[in-house]
Amino acid sequence: MLKQYSFEKTAVQSFDAQTTLALKTEDLQVFYGANHAMHDANLGFPKNQITALIGASGSGKSTYLRSLNRMNDGIATVTGKIWYHGVNINEPNVNIYEIRKHIGMVFQRPNPFSKSIRENIVYALKANGMKSKADLDERVETSLRGAALWDEVKDTLDKSALSLSGGQQQRLCIARSIAMAPDVLLLDEPCSALDPISTVKVEETLLELQKQYTIIIVTHNMQQAARVSSQCAFFHLGHVMEYTSTGTMFSNPQIPVTQDYIAGSFG
Amino acid sequence: MNAKQRDRVATVIIDLIVAAVVGILLFLLVYILSAGLPHVSWKFITGASDPMSGAGGIGVQLFNSFYLLVLTMLISIPISLGAGIYLAEYAKDNWRTSLIRSAIEVLSSLPSVVVGLFGFLLFVVKFKMGFSVISGAVALTFFNLPLLTRNIEESLSAVSRSQREAGLSLGLSKWKTEIGIILPVALPGIVTGVVLSAGRVFGEAAALIYTAGQSAPVTNFSDWNPMDPASPLNPMRPAETLAVHIWKINTEGMAENAAQLSAAASAILILAVLLFNLGARLLGNFLYRRVTASK
Ligand SMILES: Nc1ncnc2c1ncn2[C@@H]1O[C@H](COP(=O)(O)OP(=O)(O)OP(=O)(O)O)[C@@H](O)[C@H]1O
Ligand SMILES: [Mg+2]
């Protein structure tokens, strides 16, 4: 028997004016047709920090994340505001292609292009008009180093990306995203298809990357959330129930639903 | 019977079916080639045929077949590529799209004689294009479009959604994602479709009798200016193809060795189709390796 929790009692932190937020949503709602999948999400994401989104399956984490770079366009109706550099990017006239260059995304299943490792990284750069071979080569190296993959692939850049292991493919996808020089990186359960060793590698990569990027990561793995994130948001049935620093979330959750979820005595 | 035995029986049955299919195919091939090849000579392959009796060589007809094939593909591949991409990627799932899909299905089930007569009335007569390579190519395009479009749409749709999301999440436009990322992955399937439809086009007679015509005027193979009436590349000249030639020898040919002639021409037709398939596959594999960096 699933326990009923009140959606009235939430504990969502907001930030003072001193904290620089890279991204912020205001009353974000998502509808899949008649299915109201996300209610009034008000979350701010401090710059150069990692924020984890946790919650049970179907609670709306991916739905929320995909709205942030407008990947839900054409799939769902998203209302409310998404503030990015003082602009509400949830407006119809916003150039979504431009937005996605600034807000990169890595998916649950590694999805490298069926091209060479190098081409995976330079394809979108070339499409954006970067021509010089030297510039492209430099991007390939810095982004692969950033994703902690360079040493493993530097001699096989022209081999097919599909010949890499799952963990390497996922780091290639991270490299492909950061090659676009985004500000914000969205990751939807990036380690769920990976073995523990690859997972550790990706986590180390993220901790390194937060110096340059603001990272929002969806994860099912609470240890992972505890290891990498500074802020943590808990989702339940399409509602953001609690949002606080990761330390508080795991040591001293404020409301019953979070307490039960963290304690593993959910439902 | 346990699972293992059942598995073995099923495997044997499947093997038998495959053997039957391959057997029939081999029998046809061997039969046609052994009946035809003894009568094939270099002179036969390159020589001109007598316009009245149909005796003599098949050089012009062979060239016509290839020229018509190339022209048809030049017209139909871009159109079906556009239509396939539209259906796979842009078309909304509504009544208009399903109407388009059923129209394509109906078009693909038209008998080729009907397509030929339609081409005759519209292009040859109404548009005054005459019996010509171009009339034939346009008629064959009608015949070709539905299958190619369907094939391209299916090949594109079979590529995983996650590839599209990857492209879009990097800020690539839908179009760029489709052309640069999805199309290369779908290439092998598309090449198969092109090869299959090319085989059909190469062997088609009924749709061409009334459009490309039944005469193969002597052409001057040293004149490659498409504007000259005698040039083999002139798209406005009548162009009997090999398949039409075979049909003609057998129905109204007056050559005394008609049986040998048609057997030999059939053998060449089969060989040409095989060669074309092989070539298209090699080209397709080469392109695929180039764009995907796979082995
Ligand atoms: N493309 C879609 N079309 C319709 N409904 C969807 C779609 N994607 C998600 N939903 C619905 O939205 C709700 C939230 O799903 P979502 O995928 O965001 O959950 P999640 O928290 O990411 O779950 P998981 O941990 O399993 O990935 C679910 O009820 C789901 O059925
Ligand atoms: Mg999800």
CATH code of B189's domain: 1.10.3720.10
Do the domain assignments include residue B53?
A: yes
Q: Which residues contact A265 (CB under 8 A, 6 or more apart)?
A: none
Distance from CA of B270 to the nearest CA of A (A): 36
Strands (E), A97-237: 103-106, 184-188, 214-218, 231-236
- Closest CA to ligand 1's atom 16: A60
Q: B interface toward A at CB cutoff 8 Å? A: 160, 162-163, 165-173, 176, 180-181, 184-185, 291-295
Q: Rounded to the nearest whole angstrom, what is the distance from the C-alpha of residue A221 to the centroid of ligand 1? A: 18
- Closest CA to ligand 1's atom 28: A58
Q: Which residue has the tokens 């639903």?
A: A257
Do the domain assignments include residue B121?
A: yes
Q: Which residues contact A228 (CB under 8 A, 6 or more apart)?
A: A50, A52, A203, A206, A207, A217
**Dist CA A244 CA B261 (whole Å):** 88
**Dist CA B140 CA A125 (whole Å):** 41
- The low-confidence residues of chain A, meaning pLDDT below 50, are 1
Question: Strands A21-32 and A77-84: what pairing?
Answer: antiparallel
Helices (runs of H) and strands (runs of E) counted in chain A: 10, 11
Do the domain assignments include residue B3?
A: no
Distance from CA of A121 to the nearest CA of B (A): 10
Residues A209 and A216: beta-carbon distance below 8 Å:
no
Task: Give me the count of residues in chain B.
Answer: 295
Identify the nearest ligand to the CA of A188 by its number: 2
Tell me which H or E stretch contains A55: strand A50-55
For residue A45, the model assigns a pLDDT of 95
**Residue of B89, B92, B164, B169 best to disrupt the A interface, most CBs of A under 10 A:** B169
For residue B256, the model assigns a pLDDT of 77
- CA torsion through residues B253, B258, B263, B264, sign: negative
Do the domain assignments include residue B124?
A: yes
- Asked if A159's CB is within 8 angstroms of B293's CB, the reply is yes
Residues B273 and B203: beta-carbon distance below 8 Å:
yes
Using a CB-CB distance cutoff of 8 angstroms, which residues of chain A are in contact with residue B171?
97-101, 124, 128, 180
- Indicate whether residue A63 lines ligand 1 (CB < 6 A): yes
Identify the nearest ligand to the CA of A54 by its number: 1
In A, minimum Cα distance to B292 occurs at: A115
- Which fold, A19-109+183-263? Rossmann fold (3.40.50)
In B, minimum Cα distance to A185 occurs at: B169
Do the domain assignments include residue B177?
A: yes
Using a CB-CB distance cutoff of 8 angstroms, which residues of chain B are in contact with residue A128?
171
For residue B281, the model assigns a pLDDT of 83
Nearest Cα to B77, choosing from B173, B131, B144? B144
Three-state SS sequence of B91-147: CCCCHHHHHHHHHHHHHHCCCHHHHHHHHHHHHHHHCCCCCCHHHHHHHHHHHHHHH
Residue spans of the domains in chain A: they are 19-109+183-263
Q: Would you call A210 an interface residue with chain B, using a CB distance cutoff of 8 Å?
A: no
Q: Is B260 exposed, middle or buried (0-12, 13-18, 19+ CB in 10 A)?
A: middle
Q: For chain B, where are the alpha helices, taking DSSP H only?
A: 3-36, 42-46, 59-85, 95-108, 112-119, 133-157, 161-169, 174-177, 183-203, 206-209, 242-252, 258-292
- Indicate whether residue A67 lines ligand 1 (CB < 6 A): no
Using a CB-CB distance cutoff of 8 angstroms, which residues of chain B are in contact with residue A173?
166
In Å, what is the CA distance from B71 to each residue of B48, B124, B140, B230, B281?
22, 17, 10, 18, 19
- Asked if A159's CB is within 8 angstroms of B171's CB, the reply is no
Using a CB-CB distance cutoff of 8 angstroms, which residues of chain A are in contact with residue B295?
160
**Dist CA B290 CA B295 (whole Å):** 9
Beta bridge partners of A214: A184
For residue A192, the model assigns a pLDDT of 85
Q: Which residues contact A199 (CB under 8 A, 6 or more apart)?
A: A167, A191, A224
Q: How high is the mean pLDDT in each 10-residue block of chain B (295 residues)?
A: 89 96 94 89 81 77 89 93 91 89 88 89 87 88 90 93 93 92 90 86 86 77 73 79 86 78 89 86 84 72
**Dist CA B80 CA A97 (whole Å):** 28
- Indicate whether residue A90 lines ligand 1 (CB < 6 A): no
Do the domain assignments include residue B51?
A: yes
Identify the nearest ligand to the CA of A30 by its number: 1
- Indicate whether residue A62 lines ligand 1 (CB < 6 A): yes
Tokens of B257: 């060795």
Tokens of A240: 């953001």
For residue A1, the model assigns a pLDDT of 46
Q: State how many domains chain B has.
A: 1
Domain that holds residue B177: 40-292
Distance from CA of A109 to the nearest CA of B (A): 8
Per-residue model confidence as pLDDT tens digits over A43-60:
999 999 999 999 999 999
**Residue of A68, A111, A162 best to disrupt the B interface, most CBs of B under 10 A:** A111
For residue A244, the model assigns a pLDDT of 93
